[in-house]
């Protein structure tokens, strides 16, 4: 996989060269829409490890606000998106529960950055996710998954609630919508490009 230092603007303009694979994590707390996001945007049939939730899992997974949820990711989701003649994104969706933290550690290896999906009605659930991403040293962008009927949150208030750095991108998306999801990923990639250029 490519490193941040090698992904610059030339990756988008040089013709006739092989594609650069870029590993991106799609992360977020339980039931925030990661599987839906990858399914909406992947140009290949996405790999999903969704399993039906059992009564045992109901004792450890907080279903507040997502009572209709009947399945959960137990390993990862995987999809692919070609964004230019030179760059192809390999998207790895992580499980949202704390008990799968070892899977996170494995998937984080070689990742260039992460898109953190956030439910504006459950912001506190995102704290552990953001802590993990920062622990792994990954640059990230926040994508607020706007659910039906949920109020639009003020960006400044979101930043304060999530304790974000000033340069951390924050966008609103609908994980069910291909164009909206693509725009969120584009924001992340542009941020990663800017960071890579600053490090050169």
Taking residues 19-39, report their average pLDDT. Answer: 91
For residues 61 and 186, which has the higher predicted lDDT (pLDDT)?
A: 186
Number of structural domains the chain divides into: 1
Taking residues 20-27, report their average pLDDT. Answer: 94
Range of the domain at 15: 4-199
pLDDT 10s digits, 148-162: 777 778 999 999 999
> What pLDDT is stored for residue 73 in this prediction?
46
pLDDT above 50 for 110: yes
User: What CATH number is given to the structural domain containing 8?
Assistant: 3.40.50.300
> What pLDDT is stored for residue 14 in this prediction?
43
> What pLDDT is stored for residue 30 in this prediction?
85
Task: Name, in order, each residue with C-beta under 8 angstroms of 196's C-beta and a sequence gap of 6 or more.
Answer: 4, 5, 6, 7, 8
Q: What is the rounded CA–CA span in Å between residue 100 and residue 106?
A: 10
φ/ψ of 162, rounded to 5, equals -95, 0
């Amino acid at each position: 996989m490519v490193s941040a230092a090698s992904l610059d603007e030339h990756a988008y303009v040089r013709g006739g060269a092989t594609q650069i694979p870029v590993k991106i994590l799609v992360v977020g707390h339980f039931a925030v829409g990661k599987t839906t996001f990858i399914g909406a945007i992947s140009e290949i049939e996405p790999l999903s490890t969704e399993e039906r939730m059992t009564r045992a899992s109901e004792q450890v997974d907080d279903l507040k606000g997502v009572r209709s949820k009947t399945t959960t990711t137990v390993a990862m989701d995987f999809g692919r998106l070609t964004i230019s003649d030179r760059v192809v994104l390999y998207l790895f969706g992580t499980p949202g529960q704390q008990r799968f933290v070892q899977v996170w550690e494995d998937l984080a290896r070689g990742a260039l950055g992460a898109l953190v999906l956030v439910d504006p009605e459950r912001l506190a659930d995102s704290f552990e996710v953001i802590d993990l991403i920062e622990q792994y040293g990954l640059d990230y962008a926040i994508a607020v998954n706007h659910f039906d009927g949920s109020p639009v949150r003020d960006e400044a208030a979101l930043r304060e609630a999530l304790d974000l750095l000033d340069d951390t991108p924050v966008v609103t998306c609908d994980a069910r919508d291909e164009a909206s999801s693509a725009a969120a990923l584009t924001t992340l990639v542009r941020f990663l490009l800017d960071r890579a250029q600053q490090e050169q």
